[in-house]
């Protein structure tokens, strides 16, 4: 039998291809996280102005027919609009 030698025949860890598969995946995920956080903090969503919304809502309510339905559909809250994406029906005002 041959004995394993600890001489210079061992390969350094950074030259082993399988090591880069093990370490590379998490490194890519961390880099993507940093990019995502950077984009999120540098480009925040604008705060909606309530006066503008009320003005647009009053204008939409003055319309009639399909134009009114279309204008009110554009003003729906996100949670309501996404639930009716396939059939955007605006409920009648009570």
Share of the chain above pLDDT 70, in %: 72
Q: In the predicted model, is pLDDT for residue 82 greater than 90?
A: no
- Residue 8 falls inside a structural domain: no
Is residue 71, in this structure, part of any structural domain at all? yes
Q: What is the mean pLDDT of residues 10-17?
A: 88
Do the domain assignments include residue 11?
no
56 and 73 both lie in a single domain: yes
The answer as to whether 5 is a domain residue is: no
Task: Give residue 38's pLDDT.
Answer: 96
Q: Distance (Å, rounded) from C-alpha 54 to C-alpha 48?
A: 11
Same domain, 79 and 54: yes
Asked, for residue 1, whether it belongs to a domain, the answer is no
Query: Does 55 share its domain with 36?
Result: no
pLDDT over 90 percentage in the chain: 30
- Number of domains composing the chain: 2
Question: What confidence tens digit (pLDDT) does each residue in 20-63 have?
Answer: 899 999 999 999 999 999 999 998 878 878 898 899 889 988 99
Q: Which domain holds residue 28?
A: 16-41
Task: Give this prediction's pTM.
Answer: 0.47
């Amino acid at each position: 039998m041959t004995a394993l030698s600890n001489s210079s025949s061992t390969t350094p860890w950074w030259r082993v291809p399988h090591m880069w598969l093990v370490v590379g995946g998490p490194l890519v995920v961390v880099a993507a996280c940093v990019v995502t956080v950077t984009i999120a903090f540098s480009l925040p969503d604008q705060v909606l102005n309530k006066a503008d919304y009320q003005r647009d809502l009053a204008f939409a309510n003055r319309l009639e027919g399909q134009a009114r339905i279309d204008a009110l559909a554009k003003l729906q809250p996100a949670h309501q609009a996404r639930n009716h994406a396939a059939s955007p029906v605006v409920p009648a005002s009570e």
